Amino acid sequence: MINQLVSNIKKTGAPIVVGLDPMLSYIPEQVQKKAFAEFGETLEGAAEAIWQFNKEIVDKTYDLIPAVKPQIAMYEQFGIPGLTAFKKTVDYCKEKGLVVIGDIKRGDIGSTSAAYATGHIGKVQVGGNTFAPFDEDFVTVNPYLGSDGVKPFIDVCKKEQKGLFILVKTSNPSSGEFQDQLIDGRPLYELVGEKVNEWGQECMGCSYSYVGAVVGATYPEMGKVLRKIMPKAYILVPGYGAQGGQGKDLVHFFNEDGLGAIVNSSRGIIAAYKQEKYASFGAEAFGDASRAAVEDMIADIRGALENR
Ligand SMILES: O=C(O)c1cc(=O)[nH]c(=O)n1[C@@H]1O[C@H](COP(=O)(O)O)[C@@H](O)[C@H]1O
């Protein structure tokens, strides 16, 4: 899967991910009304609205981008119908040739991690039948439980040619509370980065490992250090746009080959029509506003990489 991700990035020239994080408040009224007319103001109605919203955004952007990142919490809040919309989104994006990063941020004791890995990137056996229940291409993993909580995900990746992005330094304001704590004079995120590098060494695709890392766009100096600690890890960089990250902050997340990082924006793309900059599109043309926001994001990052 890492090879498909790299190939999609080279083909589009766009090291970006569109985060499909649909909140009902981002979904234009006409889309909500239509879904509620069919299913009522119910969990099913909400799930239909987020599915139709996602589909329009994917239809308007898929030719420009290599990958999407649906964040499962946005779907789980609508219970079982929400999870059905998550799965429909995963399948639709894959049909469109996009790499799907399931943002699930899981991690537990070994046996429980194994079940998470099976459900999201692996296959489950039911009697004589085998199913790939969610079938994302990559998932995000929380490494707080240590190696035995991460290894079951790596084992499934090896078997199924899937991939991981492991939280190393997150983008949120409180991330330093634990992640920046010094251990023998070195911050914890550096030690986690070293572990990601170690885990990734036996998981190489053509040029990059399929064990990647998450490092927030909001901490560019730390990104620079982590890039060197994990030279073969693809770095998923959230925090662009709504959280303040800009192209010029991100150049050191990339390697000299122009690869090695993929920058996520969720609200900045999917709710673009609500921003002043794209307001002229109006709520009816929300998908076109998202396309314009994708084009601007690509230009910003490409421009920064060309001028570094
Ligand atoms: O793993 C992630 O994707 C992630 C890690 C992190 O450190 N910070 C972070 O914002 N994220 C996710 O990235 C997305 C950011 O959304 P926006 O701020 O709307 O672009 C959300 O889905 C977050 O859950």
- Check residue 71 and give its pLDDT: 98
- Check residue 308 and give its pLDDT: 83
Q: Is the pLDDT of residue 116 over 90?
A: yes
Pairing of strands 138-141, 163-169: parallel
Give the domain ranges of the chain.
Answer: 2-306
Task: Tell me the H-state helices in 129-237.
Answer: 147-160, 176-179, 188-201, 220-229
ipTM (interface predicted TM): 0.99
Whether the CB of 241 sits within 6 Å of ligand 1? yes
- Check residue 102 and give its pLDDT: 98
Whether the CB of 96 sits within 6 Å of ligand 1? no
- Check residue 165 and give its pLDDT: 98
pTM, two decimals, is: 0.98
What single-letter DSSP state applies at residue 71? Answer: B
Per residue in 139-171, pLDDT tens?
999 999 999 999 999 999 999 999 999 999 999
- Check residue 1 and give its pLDDT: 86
Q: Give the CATH superfamily of 2-306.
A: Aldolase class I (3.20.20.70)
What single-letter DSSP state applies at residue 247? Answer: G
Residue bearing the bigger pLDDT, 1 or 170: 170
Please compute the mean of the pLDDT values over residues 221-247 and round it to a whole number: 96
What does the chain come to in residues? Answer: 308
Q: Does the annotation count 55 as an active-site position?
A: no
- Interatomic CA distance for residues 67 and 281, integer angstroms: 24
Q: Residues 105, 123, 151, 274: which is the catalytic one? A: 105
Mutation choice for ligand 1 from 264, 265, 274, 275, CB with most ligand atoms inside 8 A: 264
Tokens 């690869």 locate to 259
- Please state the φ and ψ torsions of residue 275, each to the nearest 5 degrees: -85, 150
- Please state the φ and ψ torsions of residue 100, each to the nearest 5 degrees: -110, 120
Per residue in 127-138, pLDDT tens?
999 999 999 999
Query: Ligand 1: which atom is nearest the Cα of residue 240?
Result: 20
- Interatomic CA distance for residues 6 and 10, integer angstroms: 6
